[in-house]
Structure 1
Amino acid sequence: MSTIDQETAASKPVEPVRPEHLPEGSRNPGAVASMLSALVEHSRVEKDVRNSIHAPWHALPHLPRVAALVPGLEKLAAAHHVGNYVALRGSDQRFFESMPLATRLGMHLLFWGGYQEKLLHEKSVESVLKELSVREGHIYDSPDSAKSIPSFVSTYSIATDELAEPDLSKYATFNEFFYRKLKPGARPVADAQDPTGVCSAADCRLTVYPTVDLAKQFWIKGNNFSVPTLLGVAPDSEEARAFEGSSVAIFRLAPADYHRFHSPIDATIGEVKDIDGEYYTVNPQAVNEPGFDVFTANRRSVLYLTHAASGRQVAFVAVGAMLVGSIRWTGGAQLGTRVRRGDELGYFAYGGSTIVALFPRGTITFDADLVKNSAVPIETFVKVGWSIGRTNAQAMVEGQGQP
Structure 2
Amino acid sequence: MSRSIQFYNRHTGALETETIYGESYLRWTYENPFGRLALNVLVKRSLFNAWYGWRMDRPGSRGKVEPFIDQYEIDMGECRRSGDSFETFNDFFYRELTAEARPIARGDGIVSLPADGRHMAIPDLSRVESIYVKGQAFELETFLGSDELAGRFSGGSVVISRLCPVDYHRFHSPVSGTLVEQREIDGSLYSVSPIALCRKVGYLWENKRVLTTIQTEAYGLVAFVAIGATCVGRIHMTRGKGARVEQGEELGYFAFGGSCVATVFEKSRIALEPDLVENSSRETEVYAKMGDRLGTAVER
Give the drift of 1:144: 1.2
Does the 8 Å contact 2:104/2:292 carry over to 1?
Answer: yes
Report the RMSD for the aligned CA atoms in angstroms. Answer: 2.2
* 2:10 alignment counterpart: 89
Matches within 5 A, 1:150-169: 150-165=66-81, 167-169=82-84
Change (3 A) 1:112 1:292: farther
The superposition leaves residues 174-197 of structure 1 with CA deviations (integer Å, 9 ceiling, x where unpaired) of 10110000112321111x2x2301
1:195-210 residue pairs with structure 2 within 5 A?
Answer: 195-210=108-123
1:329 equivalent to 2:249? Answer: no
Which residue of 2 is the match for residue 378 of structure 1?
284
Shift in Å, 1:377? 1.9
Higher helix share: 1
Aligned to 1:226: 139
Tell me the distance in 2 between the aligned counterparts of 1:203 and 1:365.
Answer: 20
Q: Does the aligned pair in 2 maintain the 1:106–1:280 contact within 8 Å?
A: no
Which amino acid letter does the alignment assign opposite residue 264 of structure 1? Answer: P
| AA aligned opposite 1:97 | E
**Aligned residue in 2 for 1:318:** 226
Instruction: Give CA-to-partner distance per residue, 1:6-44, whole Å, 9 cap, x none.
Output: xxxxxxxx614xxxxxxxxxxxxxxxxxxxxxxxxxxxx
Residue type of the alignment partner of 1:155 = Q
- Choose the corresponding residue for 2:217, options 278, 284, 308: 308
Distance 1:97 1:115 in 2: 22
Q: 1:90–1:106: structure 2 CA closer, same or farther, 3 Å change rule? A: closer
Q: Relative to 1, partners in 2 of residues 1:176 and 1:90: Cα closer, same or farther, differing over 3 Å?
A: closer
C-alpha deviation, 1:216, in angstroms: 5.0
Q: CA 1:126–1:316 in structure 2 vs 1: closer, same or farther (change >3 Å)?
A: farther
Structure with the larger strand share? 2
* Cα deviations by residue, 1:236-272 (Å, 9 ceiling, x for unpaired): x321210112201010001110100001111111221
Secondary structure, counterpart of 2:101 in structure 1: coil
- State the shift of 1:162 in Å: 1.1
Distance 1:245 1:114 in 2: 39
Deviations 1:135-185 (A, max 9, x none): 2211100011111100111111111111111x2222111101100001123
Corresponding position: 1:146 with 2:146: no
Specify which structure has the bigger relative contact order, considering alpha-carbon pairs within 8 angstroms and separated by 6 or more residues: 2
Amino acid at match of 2:157: S
Kindly state the Cα deviation for residue 280 of structure 1 after the two structures are TM-superposed. Answer: 1.1
Equivalent position of 1:77 in the other structure: none
Q: Distance in 2 between matches of 1:300 and 1:327?
A: 8
Residue number among 148, 166, 169 corresponding to 1:238 in the alignment? 148
Cα gap change, 1:142 to 1:215, in 2 (>3 Å): farther
Matched-pair identity in %? 33
For the pair 1:344 / 2:259, whether they are aligned, the reply is no
Q: Which moved more, 1:380-389 or 1:106-115?
A: 106-115
Tell me the matched-pair count: 299
User: What amino acid maps onto 1:287 in structure 2?
Assistant: L
Task: Pick closer, same or farther for the CA change 1:175–1:215 going to 2, 3 Å.
Answer: farther
**Residue 211 (1) aligns with residue 121 (2):** no
Question: Out of 161, 167, 172, which is 1:251 matched to?
Answer: 161
Matched, 1:129 2:44: yes
- 2:197 maps to amino acid: V
2:185 to 275, 280, 297: 275
> Where does the alignment leave 5 or more consecutive residues of structure 1 unmatched?
1-13, 17-82, 395-403
